[in-house]
Structure 1
Amino acid sequence: MKHLFLPLLIMVMGWVGLIAPVDFPSAKISNGLIEAELYLPDAARGYYQGTRFDWSGVMPRLEYKGHSYFGIWNPAPYDPKLHDAIAGPVEEFVAVGMNEAAVGGEFLKIGVGMLIKPDAKPYSFMTPYTLKNGGKWTVKTLKDKVEFTHELTDAGGYGYVYRKTVKLTKGKAELVLEHSLKNTGQKPIETQTYNHNFFMIDNEPTGPNIQTLFPYEVSAEGKGFGTVVKAENRMIAFAKEVPPGENVFSAGVKGFDATPEDYDILIQNLKTGAGVQIRGDKPLEKLVYWACHTTSCPEPYIKLSVKPQEEVKWKINYLFIAR
């Protein structure tokens, strides 16, 4: 495993996020067309140490033909344990076993580990849960890909081997996230997973120049929908810019069928002509949309059901466009 350690000084969208000159474990990959940087899992020195998102695949930078697609979007003071101090096409797994766990007991977040349930309140992604068992991470870095393996065994009956490869396709402006999850424990794993897709296409503020398109008619309700943003004519489009400190949100964009063919999303920057086509190979379970001033995020969910000793595989393809 090869780690490249780079100091970080980031300027985003008129605000300056100054992060102390710490060397975060990182890696760079390229296929000659795309260049990207990833922050690697590390419980002591990693850029992201929160308990919400899968620790693999954090990507503060991806560039293609002079366009940028990901960056540090969060203007909050940097804290490695902040739930959303993260960047890129990062993923979260819905908590497993929390409802069954007693107060003081443990529940599972795949890609993070076993967390302690502090009280009887429902799961909240904003809560900084205590990590009891972080499992074991193994990372292999090659020229055009990074291979992550997370192994976890817990006395309470949960166990898994989670593999994720972040790779750039040879000769193509494409990023592929390949996943496998093998249940090595005694308890079944029933969960959902989604990619938050923290897009920052050419650092364009979220507004009329950002559109998200679908191959079917969509509708949505929620914060800002119908005023700041509208879901109609097969797209989510903005009537005006989302101001700093504000956000829009829909917990359920409707219109898709539960087929892999409908896991098909195009987000684009109309000003610069850059965009990303996102396709998955599993049926959509749910589609969430969230955006703030600095980032616009279609969040496609899929369902995972893995019995003991079973293994499931899935992938997501990102085709980068530069017109």
Structure 2
Amino acid sequence: MAYQLKNELLAVDIADPGEYRGTRFDWSGFITGVRFAGHTFCVPESLIPGQGTGGKGLCSEFGIAQAIGYDEAGIGGKFPKLGVGLLTRPDAAPYQFFRAYEAEPFSIMTEQKGPKSITFTVLPKDCNGYAVQLVKTVSIDHDRLIVSVEMDNVGTRPVHTDEYCHNFFGIDGTPIGPDYVLRFPFASSPWSDDPGTLDGLAFSGNEVTWERQPEQEFYFRLPGFDGAEQPWLWELLHRPSGLGVRERSKLRVAAAAVWGKGHVVSPEMFVEVKLAPGERQTWTRIYEFFKTV
């Protein structure tokens, strides 16, 4: 079954753990849809069925560049992908986030606390001394969607990784192009390992715009910053409708990136996760939905 949170402005659809069967994104609190004042904000990673890694809406990922314990697992050995389960390393190739791995899923407990809040608890399972309990609470308050994360290292080994939310946004299904503007609270200084992924994008001060609907994927990076010192982290506006979303999280952003293609744009704010045995780390993401006209 799927879950829904609802108030006078927002309706948020959340997948039941196990509905998404991939080995990339966190199975807990996988938000598949957001409607604000009757308007839709979320889209799938790909419009072609079966293409991509199964992302949709707001879904988080741990360790996109390097999974915990992968190098030491050995061929045929297991390693933990937080929020997913114990994965099996099939060969000597480096870890690849887009690859499908054989998985032994973590057990996930779900408790819905009325129409405005739901909590997912990912139970720890030891793997070579790595064991983390993950608790994620998704709630709504007026025009805000709030995702709170609590992580406890209950294993015997330190955990050092990162987490981000892949925000697959496309407002009312409108293609990405000149009608959109993406803003940051400061003048941006983006870069890309592949300059071709910047084709058709324009950067002016704190704004990013599109000259046309992208035909290929676009991607660029931004340096980290202290979100506690900013009014918000980023803001996406569809100018003709006045509909938009901004992230008001007070995070220490370790790194930032923006990915997208013709139907979707995803600002990504990374959090460093660093836990000694017995330690706890918490953070909260806050999304505010609005209409200017």
3-state DSSP of counterpart to 2:115: coil
- What is the CA distance between 1:316 and its match in structure 2? 0.5
CA–CA distance in 2 between the matches of 1:286 and 1:60? 25
| Aligned mates of 1:155, 1:203 — CA distance in 2 | 42
Q: 2:107 aligns with which of 105, 124, 136?
A: 136
CA positional deviation for 1:236? 1.6
Change in Cα spacing, 1:211 to 1:39, as seen in structure 2 (3 Å) is same
Corresponding residue of 2:234: 265
1:106 matched to 2:106: no
2:46 to 42, 67, 74: 74
CA distance in 1, matches of 2:115, 2:196: 42
Q: CA RMSD, aligned part only?
A: 1.7
User: Any conservation in 1 of the 2:227–2:233 contact (CA below 8 Å)?
Assistant: no
Distance 2:11 2:198 in 1: 38
| Aligned CA distance change for structure 1 residues 83 and 73 (closer, same or farther; 3 Å) | closer
**Following TM superposition, by how much is the alpha carbon of 1:62 offset from its aligned partner in structure 2, in angstroms?**
1.3
Aligned to 1:206: 176
**Match among 93, 105, 108 for residue 121 of structure 1:** 93
C-alpha distance after superposition, 1:209-243 (max 9, x if no partner): 12110111112233545531123310221111113
Q: Any idea what the Cα deviations from partners look like across 1:157-209, whole Å, max 9, x if unmatched?
A: 1112100011001xx20000011000111111101000111111111111111
Matched letter for residue 229 of structure 2:
E
Per the alignment, residue 93 of structure 1 pairs with 62
Secondary structure (helix, strand or coil) at the match of 2:71 reads coil
Output the CA distance in 2 between the equivalents of 1:174 and 1:224: 35
Q: Alpha-carbon deviation of 1:61?
A: 2.0
Local SS of the residue matching 1:99? helix
2:153 to 183, 191, 198: 183
Residue equivalent to 1:197: 167
Unpaired runs of 5+ residues, structure 1, are: 1-24
What stretches of structure 2 of length at least 5 have no aligned partner? Answer: none
Determine if contact 2:225/2:254 at 8 Å carries over to the other structure.
no
Which whole-Å deviations, capped at 9, do the CAs of 1:9-49 have from their partners, x for residues lacking one?
xxxxxxxxxxxxxxxx201111222112111102xxx1x11
Question: 2:267 corresponds to which residue?
Answer: 298
Instruction: Specify the alignment match of 1:279 in structure 2.
Output: 248
User: What is the aligned partner in structure 2 of residue 168 from structure 1?
Assistant: 140
State which drifts further: 112-121 or 295-304: 112-121
Offset of residue 300 of structure 1: 0.7
Please give the per-residue CA displacement for 1:104-146, whole angstroms capped at 9, x wherever unaligned.
2122211001111112221111110111x32210011231122
In 1: Cα distance, 2:58 partner to 2:32 partner: 9
Equivalent residue letter for 2:269? P
Q: TM-score, normalised by structure 1?
A: 0.83
Contact 2:249 2:284 in 1 (8 A): yes
Residue in structure 1 matched with residue 36 of structure 2 by the alignment: 64
Partner of 1:309: 278
**1:240, 1:30 → 2: CA distance?**
35
Residues 143-152 or 216-225, more deviating: 216-225
State the number of aligned residues.
285
In structure 2, relative to structure 1, the CA distance for the partners of 1:308 and 1:248 (3 Å cut) is same
- Cα contact 2:43–2:264 (8 A) shared by 1: no
Identify if the C-alpha distance between structure 1 residues 155 and 193 changes in structure 2 by more than 3 Å, giving closer, same or farther: closer
Match of 1:34 in 2: 10
Q: Secondary structure at the match of 1:70?
A: coil
Listed one character per residue, the Cα deviations across residues 64-102 of structure 1 (whole Å, up to 9, x for unaligned) are: 123211133522324xxx762131111000021112222
Q: Normalising by the residue count of structure 2, what TM-score does the alignment of the two structures yield?
A: 0.92
Deviation at 1:298, TM superposition (A): 0.6
Which gives a bigger RCO, structure 1 or 2 (Cα 8 Å, sep 6+)? Answer: 2
